[in-house]
A and B are shown apart, each in its own frame.
Chain A
Amino acid sequence: MLGYDSIAELQGALSNERYLVDDGLGTVVFLALKLRRPLLLEGEPGVGKTELAKALAAVSGAPLIRLQCYEGIDVHHALYDWDYPRQLLQLRAGGSTQLYSEEFLLRRPLLEALSRPNAVLLIDELDRADDEFEAFLLEFLSEFQVTIPEVGVYKAEQPPVVIITSNRTRDLHEALKRRCLYHWIEHPDFERELAIVSARLPHIGRDLARQVCTFVQDLRWLDLYRAPGVGETLDWLEGVHALGRDELDPVTVDRTLGVLLKERDDLDRIRKQDIGGLVARAQEPPG
C-alpha cells in the first residue's frame, strides 16, 4: 500500500529500493500518490523515468504493469481483445454461451491495471503512440474506468498509480497534460549521481565511481548530440570495473567509450579532444 505521511518517508522507502529521488521529484511523487493523479515524467533519455515506476512497484509490493507504446498501438493491444479462436470453436461447437462475455475477454495492460488493486501502471514512451491513442487514454486517466461496449464499464476500486513517460518526440495533447502532474527530470548533479551510482553498484570502489561520475559530468557540459544519462554512467562504471580497473586511464576510456556515447560524431569529438585531460581532471582528488 502506497500511503506515506511525509515526503521524507517516501524518499526513504524509495532509497531502500536503491532509487534516489531529490526533493522536487519526491514532492511530485508524493502528491501524485495523495491526489491520485497520473504522473507525467519527461526528461532526457537515461535519467531514470522508467526506473521510478519499477521502484514504486517494488516499495509497494504491487505488480508493475507495463504498457510500452509504439506507433500503431490501439485498444486491442492496450485494453482488451476477444479470444477469437476460442469464440470460433465455441460457435462451431454449437455452445449457447454468450460469445462476448468476460469468459472470452483477454485483458491487456490497462484493463489488468484496473482489476488489480494498487497496481503500478507504467505507460512508457507515450509520445510514440499516435494522437488517437492519446485521446483514448483520456477517459482512462481521468475516471480510471474504461468502457467495453459488449460488456460494460470497468471501474477500478482502487485506482492504480499511473506513471507516464515521454521523450518529447512530439508534444502531448493539452487535455492529457491537464489530467496529470508534470515533472521534468534533469540530469543529476555530481553528488547525486555519485550517490545513485554508489547505491546501485555498491560493490564497486568509491574512487572509481567518483572518477567515472566526474568524467561523465564533464561530458554533459560539452554540448554533445546525445549526452550520457545516469543509465549510461552505470553501464560504463560496470564495464570499466569488469575490465578489472580500479582507476580510469586514457586507454581504458578510449576502448570503453562506446558504452557511454552512442553517436559516432560524439565519439570522434571526444577522441580528437584530449581524453588524457579529461581523465586527469577526473583523477584529481576531491575538493
Chain B
Amino acid sequence: MNAPVSTTWPTDEAIVRAAVDFARALRTQGLCTSVDSENVFLRALSEIDVRSIDGLFWAGHCAFVQGPDQIDTYKLIFERFWDGRPLIVGTRGAEHGESDARMEAASHHGGEAMPQLGGKGKEKVAVDGESHRSDRDIPNAEGEDATSDQQVGVMVAWSATEELSDRNDMAYEREELAALRQLADEIKKAAPERSSRRQRPSPRGHRFDVRGTVRKSMTTDGEAFRLGYTGPRPVPRRLLFLCDVSGSMERYSRVLLASLKVAVGAARKAEAFVFATRLTRLTKSLDGHDFERALEGARAAIPDWSGGTRIGGAIGEFNRSYARRGFARGAIVLVVSDGWDRGDPQVLASEVKRLQLQARRLIWVNPRPVALNEQPLAIGMQAAMPYIDEFVPGHDPRAIAGMASLIAGVDAQRPHRRTSPNAA
C-alpha cells in the first residue's frame, strides 16, 4: 500500500467532494459518519500528504472507525471506493445486532452502486458470498419432541403447536402485548441491585463524610455539631440473557425474542445474546422505542436462526469475547435452552463452569416440559448441570411472566457452590 496514488496535488474542491462522498459510502454500510467525523477527516487530510493512499487510509480510519468490529467494513469500502469499483456489499457492515434504517436499506437494495471516485470498473463483484438469510428463509420447526402441556402464567392462551411458518408478520395480539407490558413492569420491580464503589450521603452509612461535615459546620461557625456519613450507592445489577434460538427451540423463539426486547428495555442494565451455532449480541438491535421495528431488526441480525446447536461453542464464544471484558462479572445470567447440543459435552461443561465462576448467579431455564422428566435429560444438559446455580425445568418460555419472578427471586446472597468444582 506504499505506492503514492498520483504525483499531482488535487484541488481543494476535489478533495472535499471525495471526502464527503467517501463518508456517504461508509454511511450506507452502517458506519456512523457524522458531520463531525467528516470534519475531522477533512482536517486530517489537510495535515497529511493526500497523495499517499496509506495516509488517506489512516486519516479516514481514525475519523470514522469506532470499534474493532468496524475495521473490516472500513477496509472494504475504502479499497472499493478509492479504486472506483462499484460498492456492492451484501452483508451487514456493523456488528451483529446493530439496527439501523440505513443498513436495512443497504441490504435490501444490495446491488446499488455507491458514490465513488473514477468509475473505470464495470464488473459487478459480490463482495462477500455469504449473504445473510432473508426473513423468508427461516425453515419451520422440525422434529419437535413433544408438545407442551405444562403451560403456566399469562401466556397460556398461546397454543403449544403454534405454527411458526408465518412468523414474518411479527404482529402481536393485544393480550400478548398486555402480557409483555406486565413482564416489563415486573422486571422493573424486580430490579436487582448491588452496591457500587460510589458513595452517597447516608445517615446510616459507615464512612465519615468530611465534605458534608465541613459544609454543615459552616452554619455553626466552624463547630462540627452534626457529623455526616456516606454509604455505598446501590446500582443496578446486570442481567444477562443467553437464549437458544436453534431448531429445537424454534417454537419458542418468537415469544422469546419479544420477551427479550421487553426485558432489555425494562431492566436498567441488561444484555441479550442469542445463539444457535454461533453467538449474536442483540442488545443494540433490541434497543429502541419501536417494538416491531426492533424485533425485525433483531431477527435480521441473527445469522443462524433455527440452525443446529453448539451450546458449548456459543458459550465459549461468549466467554472469550465478552465475559473476558467483564460482561458476566457479578451479573445474573439467565440461559434459556433445552440443552440439546450437537457439540462436545465436555466443551459445554467447561464453558458453563467458566461462565459460572464469573456470574453472580447462573440460572438455566429449560423449556422441556416437566411431563418428560422421567426421560433422561439431553446430554448437554447433564454435562452443564453441576455448574448451574438454579435449574428451572419445565418452564415454558411462553409463561414469560415467570421470568421476572425468577430474577426477583435471586436474592443478594451468593449461592452455595465452588466447594467441589470437579463434581460431575
Give me the interface of A with B, judged by CB distance under 8 Å: 7, 23-24, 27-28, 30-32, 34-35, 37, 42, 70-72, 74, 76, 82, 84-85, 87-88, 91-92, 99, 130, 167-171, 174, 177-178, 181-184, 223, 225-226, 265
A80 to chain B, nearest CB (A): 12
B34 to chain A, nearest CB (A): 6
Q: Which of B43, B58, B67, B199 contacts A24 (CB 8 A)?
A: B58
Q: Does B44 contact A (CB under 8 A)?
A: yes
Chain B residues near A223 (CB, 8 Å)?
320
Question: Per-residue 0/1 for B359-381: is the Cβ within 8 Å of any A Cβ (1 yes, 0 no)?
Answer: 00000000000000000000000
Pair A181/B40 contact, Cβ less than 8 Å: yes
A253 to chain B, nearest CB (A): 24
Chain B residues near A169 (CB, 8 Å)?
325-327
A-B contact pairs, 11 of them (CB 8 A): A23-B58, A27-B55, A27-B62, A31-B44, A84-B214, A88-B222, A91-B218, A92-B222, A130-B196, A184-B67, A225-B320
Taken together as a complex, chains A and B put the C-alpha atoms of A199 and B66 apart, in Å, by 31
Closest residue of chain A to B329 (Cβ to Cβ) is: A169
Pair B197/A70 contact, Cβ less than 8 Å: yes
Nearest first, the 3 A-B pairs at minimum CB distance are A72-B197, A91-B222, A27-B58
Q: Does B150 contact A (CB under 8 A)?
A: no
Pair A27/B198 contact, Cβ less than 8 Å: no
Q: Does B211 contact A (CB under 8 A)?
A: yes
Chain B residues near A42 (CB, 8 Å)?
67-68
Pair B34/A27 contact, Cβ less than 8 Å: no
Pair B54/A23 contact, Cβ less than 8 Å: yes
Known: A35-B44, A265-B354. 5 other contacts (CB 8 A): A28-B62, A167-B325, A174-B32, A184-B68, A225-B324
Q: Which of A7, A71, A91, A182 contacts B197 (CB 8 A)?
A: A71
Taken together as a complex, chains A and B put the C-alpha atoms of A183 and B64 apart, in Å, by 10
B15 to chain A, nearest CB (A): 16
Chain A residues near B44 (CB, 8 Å)?
31, 34-35
Closest residue of chain B to A32 (Cβ to Cβ) is: B62
Taken together as a complex, chains A and B put the C-alpha atoms of A171 and B322 apart, in Å, by 11
Chain B residues near A7 (CB, 8 Å)?
48, 55
Closest residue of chain A to B37 (Cβ to Cβ) is: A178
Pair B217/A28 contact, Cβ less than 8 Å: no
Q: Which of A32, A70, A74, A265 contacts B350 (CB 8 A)?
A: A265
Chain B residues 45 to 72 lying within 8 A of chain A, measured CB to CB, are: 47-48, 54-55, 57-59, 61-63, 65-68, 71
Closest residue of chain A to B353 (Cβ to Cβ) is: A265
Best-surrounded residue of B34, B36, B48, B66 (most CB of chain A within 10 A): B66
Q: Does B210 contact A (CB under 8 A)?
A: yes
Chain B residues 368 to 399 lying within 8 A of chain A, measured CB to CB, are: none
Chain B residues near A23 (CB, 8 Å)?
54, 58
Taken together as a complex, chains A and B put the C-alpha atoms of A24 and B71 apart, in Å, by 13
Taken together as a complex, chains A and B put the C-alpha atoms of A181 and B65 apart, in Å, by 9
Pair B211/A84 contact, Cβ less than 8 Å: yes
A144 to chain B, nearest CB (A): 16
Q: Which of B66, B224, B235 contacts A182 (CB 8 A)?
A: B66
Chain B residues near A167 (CB, 8 Å)?
325
Taken together as a complex, chains A and B put the C-alpha atoms of A24 and B68 apart, in Å, by 14
Chain B residues near A28 (CB, 8 Å)?
58, 61-62
Given contacts A28-B58, A72-B199, contact A34 B47 (CB under 8 A): yes
Chain B residues 326 to 340 lying within 8 A of chain A, measured CB to CB, are: 326-327
Best-surrounded residue of B62, B68, B199, B210 (most CB of chain A within 10 A): B62
Pair A31/B62 contact, Cβ less than 8 Å: yes
Q: Which of B197, B214, B325 contacts A168 (CB 8 A)?
A: B325
Pair A183/B222 contact, Cβ less than 8 Å: no
Chain B residues 263 to 279 lying within 8 A of chain A, measured CB to CB, are: none
Q: Does B319 contact A (CB under 8 A)?
A: yes
Pair A226/B324 contact, Cβ less than 8 Å: yes
Pair B48/A91 contact, Cβ less than 8 Å: no
Chain A residues near B65 (CB, 8 Å)?
182, 184
Chain B residues near A183 (CB, 8 Å)?
61-62
Closest residue of chain B to A26 (Cβ to Cβ) is: B58
Chain A residues near B63 (CB, 8 Å)?
181
Taken together as a complex, chains A and B put the C-alpha atoms of A23 and B217 apart, in Å, by 59
Taken together as a complex, chains A and B put the C-alpha atoms of A84 and B211 apart, in Å, by 7
A228 to chain B, nearest CB (A): 14
A210 to chain B, nearest CB (A): 26
Best-surrounded residue of A31, A42, A71, A225 (most CB of chain B within 10 A): A31
Chain B residues near A177 (CB, 8 Å)?
66
B37 to chain A, nearest CB (A): 7
Taken together as a complex, chains A and B put the C-alpha atoms of A129 and B5 apart, in Å, by 44
Taken together as a complex, chains A and B put the C-alpha atoms of A97 and B184 apart, in Å, by 55
B244 to chain A, nearest CB (A): 23
A104 to chain B, nearest CB (A): 10
Pair A130/B214 contact, Cβ less than 8 Å: no
Closest residue of chain A to B320 (Cβ to Cβ) is: A225
Taken together as a complex, chains A and B put the C-alpha atoms of A23 and B57 apart, in Å, by 10
Given contacts A178-B34, A181-B62, contact A71 B196 (CB under 8 A): yes
Chain A residues near B59 (CB, 8 Å)?
27, 31
Chain B residues near A84 (CB, 8 Å)?
210-211, 214
Pair A225/B319 contact, Cβ less than 8 Å: yes
Pair A24/B61 contact, Cβ less than 8 Å: yes
B200 to chain A, nearest CB (A): 11
B130 to chain A, nearest CB (A): 21
Taken together as a complex, chains A and B put the C-alpha atoms of A88 and B210 apart, in Å, by 10
A47 to chain B, nearest CB (A): 12
Taken together as a complex, chains A and B put the C-alpha atoms of A169 and B326 apart, in Å, by 5
Pair A35/B47 contact, Cβ less than 8 Å: yes
